[in-house]
Amino acid sequence: MVGTKQTQLLQVNDLEKDAENIRLAAEMLRAGKLVVIPTETVYGLGANALDCDAVEEIFVAKGRPQDNPLIVHISKVSDVKKYATDIPEIFYELAARFWPGPLTMILKKSGCIPSVTSGGLDTVAIRMPAHPVARAIISKAGIPLAAPSANLSGSPSTTTAEHCIRDLSGRVDAIVDSGCCEYGIESTVISIIGRIPRLLRPGAVTLEQLQQTVGEIEVDPAVLHQMKEGVKAASPGMKYKHYAPKAKVVLVDADSKTYAEFVNKQEGDGVYAMCFVEDVPRLKKPYVLFGSRDDDFAQAKELFYALRDLDDKGAELVFARCPSKKGVGLAVYNRLLRAAAFEVMKL
C-alpha cells in the first residue's frame, strides 16, 4: 500500500564525515529501494533505472502517469555508451561544456533501458548531475538512477528536504538531506536525435548558451504554448498539469507600477502577490517574493519555494509578476505559465 513505508532521514553535510549515510543510501538503491537524493537543480526521487520493479514504484510513489518517461542519472560520461546508441558528435560537444550540470540530453536508447523507465519510448533522457552528494551516491551504488523531481505529481518540484518530507514521507525508503538546491529549477532538456537539436524544457543551461555551443536550435512549441488536445508531445511531461499550488495563479505581464496598481485593486482575503523585491514598496497586498527583477538565477532558485509558501499562507488567488524570457528567465516563465494553467494577463 502506498504511504506505509518507514522513511529514513539521512543527513549529508560533508562527504567525508557523512560517508556512512552515502553508503547506506547507495546500498538501499542497489537493493531496489526508493531514495530521494539532492541534486543541484531540484531533489530527485531515485531508484535503480535498470530495475523494472523499483522504477514502477517511483510512478506509484509520485502518482505519476506511466507514459511520462524518467531521466537516467549517471556519474561518468563514459556510461552514456551503455544506455544510448547512435550517439551524435554534438553530444560530446554539449557534455564537454555542460556536464556535470543541469543539462539533460535525449538520445536513442540501448536495449538495457527498460520500457518502464523510458515511458515506452525508444529514446532515453540522460543527465550527469554536478551535486557532489548525488554523484557520490550514484558512483557508490554503481548503477544508473532513474530520478524524477521528488514531488507528488502535479505539485511544485522540491528544493529542500523539508518539502520532500511533506510530499513523500511514507512513500519512499529514505530521504537524503543536503540543504537547499543551488539552481532550484529542473534541468534543461534537449533532444539531439534529429538533425537540428530541439529544446524541450528550458533550465539553468540557457537557450543562448546552447546556441553558442551548437548553433541552430529549435524551441519546441510546448515550451511557451499550451498543447492542443490530441497533439503528440515531444516531451510527455509537458502535457500534464504542473507546478500548481492550491491557489489559482494568474501571470501578469506589466511594468512594476501597473502591476502593483492592478493587484492593489483586487478584493478578498486570499489575494496574494508573487513578485520581485522591487515591487514591494508599491504593494498594499500580502506577497511572497521570488528574487529580483534583473536576477534570473535568484528567480529560479526561489520560484518553487514561493509557490509552496503561498499554500502555507492560505493564498487563494495569486497574481504573479511575469519574468523576462531571457537567460534562465525563459525557464522561470515556462514553469510559471504551467503553474498559472497558461492564464496570462497583459496590462
In the complex, the residues that contact Mg ion under the rule CB under 5 A are 149
How big is the chain, counted in residues? 347
- DSSP classification of residue 7: P
Closest approach of Mg ion to the CB of residue 7, in Å: 20
Evaluate whether 60 touches 152 at the Cβ level (below 8 Å).
no
Residue whose CB is less far from ligand TXA, 236 or 270: 236
Residue whose CB is less far from ligand TXA, 181 or 298: 181
Residue whose CB is less far from ligand TXA, 50 or 315: 50
Closest approach of Mg ion to the CB of residue 64, in Å: 8
Residue whose CB is less far from ligand TXA, 277 or 341: 341
Task: Name the residues that contact ligand TXA, by CB under 6 A.
Answer: 39, 41-42, 44, 68-71, 104, 106, 118, 121, 123-125, 127, 147-149, 186-187, 189, 200-201, 235-237
Q: Which does 68 bind (CB under 5 to 8 A by kind): Mg ion, ligand TXA, none?
A: ligand TXA
Rounded distance, CA 116 to CA 66, Å? Answer: 7
Closest approach of ligand TXA to the CB of residue 280, in Å: 30
Residue whose CB is less far from ligand TXA, 171 or 321: 171
- Torsion (CA) 220, 225, 227, 228 in degrees, nearest 10: -130
CA distances from 36 to 40, 108, 145, 179, 275 (A): 13, 27, 11, 13, 30
Comparing C-alpha atoms, which of 242, 188, 237, 238 is closest to residue 66? 237
Closest approach of ligand TXA to the CB of residue 119, in Å: 7
User: Looking at beta carbons, which residue is closest to ligand TXA?
Assistant: 237
Closest approach of ligand TXA to the CB of residue 248, in Å: 23
Rounded distance, CA 134 to CA 151, Å? Answer: 17
Closest approach of ligand TXA to the CB of residue 148, in Å: 3
Closest approach of ligand TXA to the CB of residue 322, in Å: 22
Look up cell 498543447; give the residue.
227
Name the strand (E) or helix (H) holding 94: helix 89-98
Rounded distance, CA 213 to CA 163, Å? Answer: 35
Amino acid at 177: D
If DSSP codes are grouped into helix, strand and coil, which group holds residue 209? helix
Evaluate whether 198 touches 218 at the Cβ level (below 8 Å).
yes
Residue whose CB is less far from ligand TXA, 139 or 292: 139
Q: Which does 235 bind (CB under 5 to 8 A by kind): ligand TXA, Mg ion, none?
A: ligand TXA
Q: Which does 104 bind (CB under 5 to 8 A by kind): Mg ion, ligand TXA, none?
A: ligand TXA
Q: Which does 293 bind (CB under 5 to 8 A by kind): Mg ion, ligand TXA, none?
A: none
Beta strands in 183-299 (DSSP E): 188-191, 198-201, 218-219, 248-253, 271-275, 287-289
Residue whose CB is less far from Mg ion, 26 or 189: 189
